[in-house]
Amino acid sequence: MKILFKALQFLFSIFIVNLLPGVSFAETVDENIPIHTTISAKLGNFLTPHNDTYYTLISVSSLRPYTLFRSKPAHEKIRSNYELAIGYADGKQHGAIISANMLAQRYLTSRSSGGFRPFVEAGIGLIYTEFRIPGQGLYLNFNPQVGIGFERFTKKNKRHFASLRFSHISNGELDDQNKGINSIALSFGHDF
């Protein structure tokens, strides 16, 4: 299971590590990169199959060095983000939502740039919804995601961030019915 977990993370984050310009694995990496534990609020809206369902999630995440298949961090501009979220959807669909996600986060500038630091992210997770849209098939589904955002650090090295994330919910054809849900969410969070 651990190998499958790492393989899925690798597949959904490959474009961040290899396809974005400016990645040089020859750069020096600080092996003492701090781990940031963050709490955030996500406000989202279903885009398809209909856009009249909104949701709110409270999330706890751990941002740490990206060490996929490595003993040392891969690059100074790449992080792994592991998050757990719980919330509620309301509208045409309504009910509880619980998700667990893993994402790779790629910074577009160095931290020494000062001020805001933009990033892109991509990953996958599992999501349980208390509801199903017609044709969805399962309550437990896969949840691939991509997003953009920025962060800022306080003088005490506390992280504040905002991001905009697109996500897809489907069962990956594990069931004959595989109607998907696409959504977009805005997140705000900070270290605790």
CATH number (domain holding residue 101): 2.40.160.20
Mean confidence (pLDDT) of the chain: 83
* Number of domains observed in the structure of the chain: 1
Asked, for residue 129, whether it belongs to a domain, the answer is yes
Asked, for residue 28, whether it belongs to a domain, the answer is no
Q: Any idea what DSSP says for residue 68?
A: T
pLDDT tier at 27, thresholds 50, 70, 90: very low
Asked, for residue 46, whether it belongs to a domain, the answer is yes
Asked, for residue 127, whether it belongs to a domain, the answer is yes
Which residues are registered as beta bridge partners of 138?
none
pLDDT digits (tens, 9 = 90+) for 30-78: 556 788 999 999 999 999 888 889 999 999 999 988 876 666 666 778 8
- Closest to 118 (Cα-Cα) out of 132, 107, 128: 107
Could you list the residue range(s) of the whole structural domain that residue 84 is in? 2-21+35-191
- The CA distances from residue 117 to 14, 17, 60, 130, 150, in Å, are 21, 17, 21, 36, 5
Residue 165 contacts residue 150 (beta carbons within 8 Å): no
The predicted pLDDT at position 166 comes to: 97
The predicted pLDDT at position 153 comes to: 86
Residue 82 contacts residue 62 (beta carbons within 8 Å): yes
pLDDT digits (tens, 9 = 90+) for 144-187: 999 999 999 888 888 999 999 999 999 988 899 989 999 999 99
pLDDT digits (tens, 9 = 90+) for 89-127: 999 999 999 999 999 999 998 776 557 899 999 999 999
pLDDT exceeds 50 at position 20: no
pLDDT exceeds 60 at position 19: no
